[in-house]
Amino acid sequence: MGSPALRLQLLVAIVAGLVLPGPGAAQQADESSVPTTSVPGAMSPRIHADGRVTFTLRAPEARSLQLEGGDGLGKGPFPMTKDADGTWNVTIAPPVPGFHYYWFVLYGVQVNDPASETFFGYGRETSGIEIPEPGASYYALTAVPHGAVREHWYFSKTTGEWRRARIYTPPGYDKDKTRRYPVLILQHGSGEDETGWTRQGRAQWILDNLVASGRARPMIVVMDRGYARRPGMPAFALGPATTNGELAAAYGAFEDVVIHDLIPAIDAAYRTIPDREHRALAGLSMGGMQALRIGLHHLDEFAWIATLSGPFMRHADPAAQVMTSMLGPFDTKTAYDGAFADPTKLNARLKLLWIGVGTAEPDLFHQSIGDAVELLRHSGVRLTWFESQGTAHEWQTWRRDLDDLAPRLFQ
């Protein structure tokens, strides 16, 4: 049976989780608390009563350690200091409320915090911290009827592979077995995946709360991974010389997935109302660019389009460089294959064009999207414009966006 030490080691291995303190321990005597993004039982990071946050990592052998993170955390790097027992820590100024990615840097290597759950961002699994926003309950898990979030695998003829989407079905979906629902396709940003809107964004609780208060119509929300490659398609490297045509080809595979694989799969598996009047396409950042491109290209499929911090492509010329196309002059006659050329016709066909941005976002987003809005309005395109006050190119902007957008859909 092995030595007593080995026996104990094995025994501890199979019941060890019991030593973990539960979430009840999160609230400490010093009135600091552990964020909801920490793993159950974790004692760090600690959000202090004054809003400052202390991050901790045990690394006795290290000679230097830094903290880095997203915009709302202050980015860093924040140098950390080592205690006598080998635990490093740093306390930072109160971060902006909302969800922020973060990580430690150890000899140049990005290290996740073992105390944190992981969230897919920057093309990898990354630590994250949720900073509460005082008074904001619209994205909280509350005692209202809840929808369900499912993993849905479907086979894509476009890519020749199985793909994994997340599907939110609204409260009551399982009970009322004949009712059919409109569909919002809701896409993540660059480097994220189909889990972003429910894990970082809390879209399911925003929708649950909106439906409970009667502000939004119950809807099915479809979240897919916004990347696709046709079999044999070469890797695409974005650079200063990349053209609109190259970008369109790279985005084109995902466009085909949405139109030819995803929508049919969802309409077959769920009780949707399968027509354009009951189908919306929205996305954040890169997902907003995709929503504009795919939505305006397929007005027979979508009557509702929304871009959340997703810049406009201003040039139709496939040979024009992408960067110039995003920042250069905006020609409403030619952009998006002329989708905006006849505002009266577009206004009659499109039930909603929703455009949002955070006021603290960089100019590429805030100013360029604002400029596009002005030009479109001037040309007579009807649109809804939403500015999230004081929030950056981060999830708090997009949570607010969804809270504004969803009540306007399918009404």
| Window 187 to 206, contacts with a second copy (CB under 8 A) | 189-191, 193, 198
Return the residue of 248, 320, 323, 341 that touches a second copy, per CB under 8 A: 323
400 binds a second copy (CB under 8 A): no
Kindly report the number of other CB atoms within 10 A of residue 58's CB atom.
Answer: 14
State which residue, 30 or 174, has the beta carbon closest to a second copy: 174
Q: How many residues bind a second copy (CB under 8 A)?
A: 102
85 binds a second copy (CB under 8 A): no
CB of 344 to a second copy, least distance (A): 32
Q: What separation in angstroms does the CA of 51 have from each of 27, 104, 309, 336? A: 14, 20, 27, 45
CB of 170 to a second copy, least distance (A): 13
CB of 94 to a second copy, least distance (A): 25
Return the residue of 73, 106, 339, 350 that touches a second copy, per CB under 8 A: 106
**Dist CA 303 CA 309 (whole Å):** 20
329 binds a second copy (CB under 8 A): no
Return the residue of 7, 75, 180, 349 that touches a second copy, per CB under 8 A: 7
- Each residue 128-167 as x (binds a second copy by CB under 8 A) or -, in order, gives -------------x-x--x-xxxxxx-x---xxxx-----
Return the residue of 67, 221, 247, 360 that touches a second copy, per CB under 8 A: 247
CB of 146 to a second copy, least distance (A): 6
Return the residue of 27, 180, 213, 236 that touches a second copy, per CB under 8 A: 236
49 binds a second copy (CB under 8 A): no
**Dist CA 8 CA 146 (whole Å):** 43
DSSP E strands, 83-238: 87-92, 98-106, 109-111, 118-121, 124-131, 148-156, 161-169, 183-187, 220-223
Kindly report the number of other CB atoms within 10 A of residue 242's CB atom.
Answer: 16
**Dist CA 63 CA 82 (whole Å):** 9
| Window 279 to 298, contacts with a second copy (CB under 8 A) | 285-286, 289
User: Which among 218, 209, 222, 224 is positioned nearest to 170, based on CA atoms?
Assistant: 218
Query: What is the three-state SS of 337-366?
Result: HHCCCCHHHHHHHCCEEEEEEECCCCCCCH
